[in-house]
Amino acid sequence: MYFSKFVYQPNTHECRTFLVSSYDARIKIEVDKTDIEYSFECQDDYVALYDGNGNKQKLVKKWCGKTENFTLMACGPTFIFVFHSDNDFQTGKGVYMHISAHGQIDPDNPPSTGVTIGVAV
């Protein structure tokens, strides 16, 4: 999603990104690298992924600090990606990840490799 050699964040910011795949294919997120502020239980700056949408969201993973190489797979065609920063100025490069759609729920419709991304601030 976002990775820079400069500071990654505006202070006190939360960005929610809705990921929706075509043909009900499952969304796969491969996180290559994360470099954001570490805090106990990731209370300050964090990244969180929720499976589902609307009122039926389940937290899949919440993380902060420096991490590398892990993969998450949604149960269905939607994921909600949340990036949160607090009011402290911290340096970091953000999050670098690959997003794709895999498999299909309906075998009569071929899966699309595309994922629609929408941002709500």
Distance CA 12, CA 9 (A): 9
**Residues 6 or more apart in contact with residue 60 via CB below 8 angstroms:** 49, 50, 51, 72, 74, 79
Percent of the chain with pLDDT over 90: 19
Higher pLDDT, 121 or 100: 100
Q: Which numeric CATH code is attached to 12-120? A: 2.60.120.290
- Output the pTM of the full model: 0.73
Query: How high is the pLDDT of residue 10?
Result: 57
Which of 77, 74, 81 is closest to 118 using CA atoms? 81
Strand pairing report for 115-120 and 66-73: unpaired
Q: What is the DSSP letter of 8?
A: -
Question: Please, which pLDDT band fits residue 108 given cuts at 50, 70 and 90?
Answer: low
Distance CA 23, CA 30 (A): 20
Rounded distance between C-alpha atoms, residue 24 and residue 115, angstroms:
10
Q: What is the pLDDT of residues 14-57, one digit of tens each?
A: 888 888 887 678 888 999 988 888 999 999 889 999 988 766 78
Q: Given this model, what pLDDT does residue 110 score?
A: 46
Q: Rounded distance, CA 94 to CA 110, Å?
A: 34
Residue 6 burial (C-beta neighbours within 10 Å; 0-12, 13-18, 19+): exposed
